[in-house]
Structure 1
Amino acid sequence: MTDVHNKATRSKNMRAIGTRDTAIEKRLAGLLTQAGFDFRVQDAALPGRPDFVIDQYQCIIFTHGCFWHHHHCYLFKVPATRTDFWLDKIGKNVARDARDIAMLILQGWRVLVVWECALRGKMKLDDAGLTERLEEWICGGGQAAQIDTQGIHPFTVYPPHKA
C-alpha cells in the first residue's frame, strides 16, 4: 500500500507532531494536579527527560505514545510503507526507553510508564480509575510499573549494558 500523501506533505505532518505538552501529557497533568501531587515537567537533567517528576515520592512518570514506543495494543500498527525504516526507528526508541529507565532506577528513582491507550481512545480508563491507579502506585511503592487499558502492572527493568 502506498502512502496517501506525497513526500513533502508527509514530512510536514511528521514535523508537526509535538514532543511536549501533548494531549496525553495534559490529561495526566490535570489528574495529578487534581489528586494534589506537586510535580516538575520535562526535567532535562534526568535520563530520558521524564514527563513528570514527583520529588516527594522519588518517582518519575513517562507518558508513552503506543506507536512511538511500540506498545502491544490496538493503537500500535506496523506502517505499510517504509516498514523497515519505521521498525528500526521504533526499535531504537524502545532500546533508549529501557536504557533511560534502568539508569533512573540506578539513581534511586521509581518509574511509571502510562501508555497512550490508557489515556485516550475507545478503551481508555476513566478519570476516577486512572487517578486511583496513579495514587496507588505513587503512594504505595513499587520500583517500576506501567498503566495500560488493563490496569497497572509491575515490570522488570534490566540494568544498562556497559559499552
Structure 2
Amino acid sequence: MDTVCRSKIMASIKSKNTKGELLVRRYLFKKGFRYRVNDRHLVGTPDIVLPKYRTVVFVNGCFWHVHAGCSDSVRPKTNTAFWDKKFAANVKRDQKVIKSLEDQGWKVLVVWECELKGKEKREATLLGLANEIWEGC
C-alpha cells in the first residue's frame, strides 16, 4: 500500500460519533441514563459524561489506544518507529487523563471496541457498563 493510499485511509477514521460510541449511547439512553457527549470542560474530552453519577465513559478503539492482548491491536509492519512512538504517546496520554479525572472525583470507565463485537459479548459488556454506573448510587 502506498503512502497516499494509507494517508487517505487514516484521514477517514473518525474520532467522534464512532459506531461504538453511538451503540453505547443508544443503550444508555434506553436504560434511562442522561449524559453529555464530548464535554470539552473535562480533561480528555470524554466520549460520554454522566454528571448525575459522576462518571465518564471512554469508548476506545483497540488499534489506536493499544488494547493489550487484543487481536485488533496490531502494530503496522511499515514505519514501525513512528507507530511505536505514536502508540506509546497515546497510552501515556490515556493514563494521564484517567488519573486526572479520578483525582477530580470522577469514576472512569473504558469500553473497548472489541467488547462490542458479537451480540452476546456486546450485551454482556453493555449490561456490565450500566451496572458499574449504577454501582455508585
CA RMSD of aligned residues (A): 1.4
SS in 2 for 1:113: strand
Aligned residue for 1:58? Answer: 54
1:39-88 deviation per Cα after TM superposition (whole angstroms, max 9, x unaligned): 10001111110000001100000001111011021211121111111111
Whether the 8 Å contact between 1:42 and 1:50 is mirrored in structure 2 is yes
Question: Are residues 99 and 124 of structure 1, via their aligned partners in 2, closer, same or farther at CA, if it must alter by over 3 Å?
Answer: farther
| 1:109 CA displacement | 0.5
| Residue identity in the other structure for 2:95 | A
Counterpart in 2 of 1:111? 108
- The structure with more helix, counted as a fraction of residues: 2
SS in 1 for 2:109: strand
Partner in structure 1 of residue 20 of structure 2: 24
CA distance in 2, matches of 1:124, 1:78: 28
Query: Where in structure 2 are the equivalents of 1:1-163 lying within 5 Å?
Result: 5-72=1-68, 73-120=70-117, 125-127=121-123, 129-141=124-136
Asked whether the equivalents of residues 117 and 123 of structure 1 are also in contact (C-alpha less than 8 Å), the reply is no
Report percent identity of matched pairs: 39
Match of 1:161 in 2: none
CA shift, 1:124, in A, is 6.8
Secondary structure in 2 aligned to 1:126?
helix
Q: Do the aligned partners of residues 51 and 124 (structure 1) sit closer, same or farther apart at CA in structure 2, a change above 3 Å counting?
A: farther
CA–CA distance in 2 between the matches of 1:124 and 1:68? Answer: 24
| Greater CA drift, 130-139 or 60-69 | 130-139
Unaligned 5+ residue runs, structure 1?
A: 142-163
Q: What is the number of equivalent residue pairs in this alignment?
A: 135
Q: CA deviation at 1:126?
A: 3.2
C-alpha separation in 2, matches of 1:112 and 1:90: 20
* Amino acid across the alignment from 1:137: E
